[in-house]
Amino acid sequence: MSGPPLHWLNYHHLLYFWATARSGSFTAASRELQLSPQTVSAQVRALELVVGETLLERAGRAVALTETGRLVFRYADEIFALGRELTEVLRAQPARRPLTLRVGMVDGLPKLLAHHVLEPARGLDRPVRIVVSVGPTPRLLAQLAVHELDVVLSDAPASAAVRVRAFNHLLGESGVRIVAAPSLARRLRGGFPGSLHGAPMLLPAEGTVLRASLERWFDALEVRPEVVGELADSAVLKVFGQAGAGAFAVHAVVEREVCRQYRVARVGEVPGVTERFHAISVERRVRHPAVAAICARAPALFA
């Protein structure tokens, strides 16, 4: 599609496009905007002529974003989010509505650590409602790309191979410890780490960064523990460990709290294994106040 040079954008056209992309059809957008579907369609067509490319494709009665459409939608989402934020600030009402923070948390991320990382968001001068989704990294990054999430907390940076406009903000890094129920910990301390050979061990699920790090460490030592459980949920893994099912790994930054809460004890340190944690956003410079607070305060947590 060809059109005039892109000198300026008509923000009414952009609004109609954004509403259509969000709702999934011209009909749904027309109801939201209180206009006819023909009017909405014509306004989106006008935007496409200015942009010079197709933004929406018909998919039956619905519409789907083209690659350029996804790019324009991301920017439109940011533009109108800033507009809503500006309106709220200008109103300056004493009893403002809570700010919503939508967080994606990758599978296997320690829940205790995530709690501490998110805590600064609760210290803002306005109420914050935190909505957390837990899932695999690709799904969370896809949700981040279309602004269904404000930030993704991960134990690995977003790969350049992932076709998502994302920026990694390092929160901090932590060493790793092996802990176990007290009786098992006493038995394994002698001769550690060789004592782990044949010992019952609970591991994170395959595909997690910590699992890969532990397996490399075992291989380097030529130690083969007896894997009695592989658990994707870190909280469930700790409950099994508390019951004495096997030793398990924890991050040093939350070791004291894990030992207190689950009544386990340290077996030994995993030298050379360090985990790094990231906040992933679609912005190079974070604008969401709650995400900015998280990134600013995180280094003190890992110090």
Sequence-ordered list of residues with C-beta below 8 angstroms from that of 136, at least 6 positions apart, any chain: 106, 107
Q: What is the pLDDT of residue 8?
A: 66
184 φ/ψ angles, rounded to the nearest 5 degrees: -70, -40
Per-residue pLDDT of the chain (303 residues; tens, 9 = 90+): 554 455 567 888 889 999 998 889 999 988 888 889 899 899 999 999 888 889 999 888 889 999 998 999 988 888 888 877 777 666 655 455 678 999 999 987 888 889 899 999 988 888 899 999 998 888 898 898 888 999 999 988 887 666 677 899 999 999 999 999 999 999 999 999 999 999 999 999 888 889 999 999 999 999 999 999 999 888 899 999 999 999 999 999 999 999 999 999 999 999 989 999 999 998 888 889 999 999 999 988 887
- Domain 11-86 coded CATH 1.10.10.10: yes
Q: How far apart are CA 248 and CA 203, in angstroms?
A: 6
Intervals of CATH 1.10.10.10 along the chain: 11-86
**Which tokens hold the place of 286?**
């974070």
Which structure tokens are listed for 167? 């920026």
Q: Quick one: three-class SS letters along 230-272?
A: EECCHHHHHHHHHCCCCEEEEEHHHHHHHHHHHCCEEEEEEEE
Whether domain 174-274 has CATH 3.40.190.10: the reply is yes
89: Cα within 13 Å, side-chain hemisphere: 7
Q: CA-CA distance, 93 to 83, in Å (whole number)? A: 17
Q: Which of 112, 23, 10 is nearest to 63 (CA)?
A: 23
Tell me, rounded to whole angstroms, the distance of Cα 111 from its chain centroid: 13
Output the six-digit token pair for 36: 């006819």
Any idea what DSSP says for residue 135? E
**The pLDDT of residue 108:** 76
**Every domain range in the chain assigned CATH 3.40.190.10:** 89-172+277-302, 174-274
Name the fold adopted by 89-172+277-302: D-Maltodextrin-Binding Protein; domain 2 (3.40.190)
Per-residue pLDDT, 94: 47
